Amino acid sequence: MATLRFTQNIQRHVACPTREVEGGTLADVLEGYFRVHEQARGYVLDDQGKLRQHMTAFINGSQMRDRDQLSDPVPPDAVVDLVQALSGG
């Protein structure tokens, strides 16, 4: 199972504890997580199910590539980090 970790910045809005999740792609892993933590979905994905513009994922330290379908493969025992661009004012 992959381990999914979230940026600390999201935690003040919605609790996103680190969890182990089944799934062969990034989309599967996120869906598995949101099934347990539904409220987190809208903070990570927009209303069309797309990854929010200023968020990205790293899979075992490598940045994801497919922002449209989230089809990047997630190896067993991978560590997936959901992070945000640091911008704004």
Partner 1 sequence: MSTRCHVATRKGLFTLDRGASGWSIGQVAFVGDNCTLVMHDARSGDLIAALNHGHFGIKMHRSKDGGANWSEIATPQYPAKPADYTPKAAPLEGKASDWSLKLVWALAPGGVDESGVVWCGTLPGGLFRSEDGGDSWSLNRPLWDDPLREEWFGGGADYPGIHSVCVDPRDARHVTVGVSCGGVWTTRNGGETWQLGGRGMRAEFMPPERAFEPNAQDPHLVAQCPANPDVLWVQHHNGIFKSTNAATSWTEISDVKPSTFGFAVAVHPHDADTAWFIPAVKDEKRYPMDGQVVVNRTRDGGETFETLTEGLPQSHAYDLVYRHALDVDETGDRLAFGSTTGSLWLSENGGGSWQTLAAHLPPIYAVRFEKARL
- Starting at the edge strand found earlier in the chain, the sheet holding 79-84 runs 19-21, 2-6, 79-84, 55-59, 62-63
Q: Which of 1, 10, 64, 79 binds partner 1 (CB under 8 A)?
A: 10
| Region near partner 1 per CB under 8 A, out of 19-27, 36-44, 57-65, 72-80 | 36-44
Distance CA 53, CA 36 (A): 23
**Shortest CB 76 distance to partner 1, Å:** 29
Q: Does 30 bind partner 1 (CB under 8 A)?
A: no
Residue 76 or residue 86: which is nearer to partner 1 going by CB? 86
Q: Does 17 bind partner 1 (CB under 8 A)?
A: no
Is the distance from CB of 24 to CB of 74 less than 8 angstroms?
A: yes
